[in-house]
A and B are shown apart, each in its own frame.
Chain A
Amino acid sequence: MRVRRLPIIDLYVEDDACVVFVGDQVVALSALATQALLAVGDEWTEDAAVASALADAFGPPPPGTDLAAATTETLMALSELRVIEHD
């Protein structure tokens, strides 16, 4: 899966988290989601690259949590918020 960022009205990043103003919503994202969003640019980005960025930032996920699956879940949640889109 590839992802890319959609137009955002405003993005405020502080430390590891952010607040994003998109559509008619202001949404506070978790550190994990913030890192994922920052790893996604305006050009198509492979989800594996995002997974790698998350692992670099937070270390491997705990036992029982698959890195690829957790990354996909995070990206899909961001996609539902219309912050990013996927192919």
Chain B
Amino acid sequence: MTADDVKSATECGPATRGLSRRSVVRTAAHAAWAVPVVQLAASAPAFADSTLPGIENPTYTFSRGGSNTWTAAGFTVSNDGPGPLDAGKIQFTAIATDGTWSQNSAASPWVYVSGAGTGTIIYSYNAQVPVGTNLSLNGPIVINKSNNKGDPTSSLTYQA
């Protein structure tokens, strides 16, 4: 496995937040010196350890709706081949830096995989991805968080 095996999550679309982490840090800069280096560590899903070379330009949004509900939507990718990507090869992962996740809803063909009741919840795209550009992967995926603390992060990963 190499650094090129998984597309950078920074390629994903913008995420909207109700509270900026920057605002928290900036108002308490001295406090930053006292925060432990590692705030959370989790075993990476084995699923996320490689990628399909033909998949490009993944985009989506991950934003907070009302209360503690978070929505991932607008999933698109391009697949420049040489062939379709099998069902179940794309995963969406959300990581809560505080609190735990629970399922709300996932539009077909997204299916829940694991992580309800923990800080890392995973969904899988259970349909084939044909060759093409800017392909919609449907959605949304809606998940609930146990509290409104911290700034969750997310990623879209895929396996060859």
Contacts and interface: CB of A to CB of B under 8 A. Distances in A.
Interface string A1-44: 00000011111111111010101111111111100000000000
B52 interface: no
Interface residues of B, number: 39
B48 A28 contact: no
Contact of B8 (A11, A24, A26, A29): A11
Contacts of B22: 15-16
On chain A, which size bracket covers the interface? 20 to 34
A49 interface: no
Contacts, number: 113
Contacts of B15: 14
Contacts of B67: none
A23 B41 CA distance: 12
Interface stretch (B32-40, B69-77, B129-137): B32-40
B21 A58 contact: no
Interface of B: 1-3, 5-10, 15, 20-22, 25, 29-30, 32-44, 46, 48-49, 95, 97, 120, 151, 153, 155, 157
Interface of A: 7-17, 19, 21, 23-33, 58-59, 61-62, 65, 70, 74, 77-78, 81
Given A10-B8, A28-B39, A78-B37, 16 more contacts: A7-B3, A9-B1, A15-B151, A24-B43, A24-B49, A25-B43, A25-B44, A26-B43, A28-B38, A28-B40, A29-B37, A31-B35, A33-B37, A58-B32, A61-B33, A77-B38
